[in-house]
Structure 1
Amino acid sequence: MVHADGRLQEAATAFLNQANELLLPALAQEPTLSLAAILPARTAGTALPSQAPALGGCACGGHDEPGLSELDTRVIPHAIRHATIFGALEGLNPGKGILLIANHNPLPLLAQLEQRSAGKFDVTYVENGPELWKLSMVRN
């Protein structure tokens, strides 16, 4: 029984990983879809199971770090790269941003961002190739 449980857990994990690889890129390509809109709604003041309610945000403790958080896209698998970036951008509060690091000029990503969120982000090139691109992306 224990062996079967372990195999079932492995199969479920493999299924979820494959579903993420196939679904997240497709969802990221849809400009009219907000990932926040498809997540289950929570009633104000209710905590997730086995979690105490966080005061002033999530409970990670990194909310007041100065500067931009770095997001190095070179280490993100290609299949989920844009979905990961859009998820990070959607999670930003106004005035907060990321420093996007890429090994190419991310023009296709910027075009998608303009389609999905026109005017919501201030994007500035910090470094413009030829080996490395760095972009400041701050939520308005």
Structure 2
Amino acid sequence: MAHDCSTPVRPEGVYPFDARGVAKRFRHAAIFGALDALRQGEVMRFCNDHDPLPLLEQIGQYFGDRVKMAYVSREPGEIVIDFLIAA
């Protein structure tokens, strides 16, 4: 079953971030800002139309072990990743 980013389910502490609606020139700054705003135990559910491998590398370099990542969906044209703020 495919995940539909246009109708996010928002359990407590899970915040949707649909990158497709952010202008490309602002996208990375917006993502980093959103991750910086999260508190320990909160999740940003990131949706995109492509697998953002360079972005994931940058997030790993900047945040280190503070941010954990898990794919929710990795289908062509539908990438959903949960970013968890760890201890």
Bin the TM-score by the shorter chain.
Answer: 0.7 to 0.9
Task: Report the TM-score, using the length of structure 1 for normalisation.
Answer: 0.52
Whether 1:69 aligns to 2:27 is no
Specify the code of the residue in structure 2 equivalent to 1:126: V
Aligned-residue identity in percent: 32
The higher relative CO (CA closer than 8 Å, separation ≥ 6) is in 2
For structure 2, list consecutive stretches of 5 or more residues without a partner in the other structure.
1-10
Whether 1:92 aligns to 2:38 is yes
From 71, 83, 86, the counterpart of 1:137: 83
Contact 1:122 1:138 in 2 (8 A): yes
Correspondence for 1:83: 29
Whether 1:101 aligns to 2:47 is yes
Task: Report the TM-score, using the length of structure 2 for normalisation.
Answer: 0.83
Alpha-carbon distance, 1:68 to partner: 1.3
Q: Give the SS at the match of 1:84.
A: helix
- Bigger strand fraction: 2
Whether 1:114 aligns to 2:57 is no
Q: Give the SS at the match of 1:119.
A: helix
Q: How many pairs were matched up?
A: 76
For structure 1, list consecutive stretches of 5 or more residues without a partner in the other structure.
1-64
Contact 1:105 1:129 in 2 (8 A): no
Find the structure with the greater CA-based Rg: 1
Contact 2:13 2:41 in 1 (8 A): no
Distance 2:22 2:65 in 1: 26
- Taking only aligned residues, the RMSD between alpha carbons, in angstroms, comes to 1.0
- Bigger helix fraction: 1
Distance 1:92 1:77 in 2: 22
Alpha-carbon distance, 1:67 to partner: 4.5
